[in-house]
Structure 1
Amino acid sequence: MQISADLLDGIVLAVLQHDDAYGYALTQQIQETISVSPSTLYPVLRRLKAQGDLTTYDQPYEGRNRRYYRITPAGAERLQDIETNWAGYKQAIDHFFTTRANPTKEVPHDK
């Protein structure tokens, strides 16, 4: 199943609301639940930063710098909007699955 860009934005923001993370660690955290490649995730991080939803800072690690991502107040607001939209979307979609599992009327079948 393909994940929409808005949903992937929400997943990234949701992970970062708990703690800052560098790109590889963020990818690993997300991959524990869904399949996403670094080549998909890094453009999302760049876009979220350009939109003002994330900021970055560098931390030295074993002689080089790691770029950490941090959610901004604007990113936290965007996450809240995504969560609200997702709740409505999920409820609407769940209706179809619930109806399919517990049909209330007979659907005619071709013979």
Structure 2
Amino acid sequence: MKPDKNLLSGSTTLLVLSLLASGDKYGYEMIAALEEKSDHTFTLREGTLYPILHGLEREGAVTAYEKEAPSGRKRRYYHITRTGLTLLGEKREEWRTFRHLVDAIVAEGEGSLSPA
């Protein structure tokens, strides 16, 4: 069973920073990596990704630069900064806390799943 795609909405900043922590990437590369790593469950549209990247750039969490691709086309790459790595650590801890609390509530209700 694949997870509900709506679960992605609160995790996008964490996911984008996590992708960039492994190396600089351009937009479509991040979209493709997220799809591949999530077994095609999570899809970020450009209209969702770029506002996140621009916000992270304003916060100093990422920087952007242009680089020419082998095709001759210029691509805009994003790089995570020290500020971004700190934010990523905070977002990871926030996720762990959230996951722990959800797991505790779900585990409490598991015993009541037996048929009446």
Which range, TM-score by smaller chain? 0.7 to 0.9
- Map 1:1-111; keep pairs closer than 5 Å: 1-5=6-10, 7-32=11-36, 33=38, 34-61=42-69, 62-103=71-112
Measured in 2, the distance between the counterparts of 1:10 and 1:56 equals: 18
Q: CA RMSD in A?
A: 1.6
Q: How many residues align?
A: 103
CA, structure 1 residues 26+78, in 2 after alignment: closer, same or farther (shift >3 Å)? same
- Paired letter, 2:47: S
Offset at residue 35 of structure 1 (A)? 2.4
Structure 2 unaligned blocks of 5 or more = 1-5
- Quick check: which one's helix share is greater? 2
Larger Rg: 1
Give the % identical residues: 29
Runs of 4+ in structure 1 off by over 4 angstroms are: none
Offset at residue 2 of structure 1 (A)? 4.5
8 Å contact kept, 2:25–2:77: yes
SS at match of 1:102: helix
TM normalised by structure 1 equals 0.85
Structure 1 unaligned blocks of 5 or more = 104-108
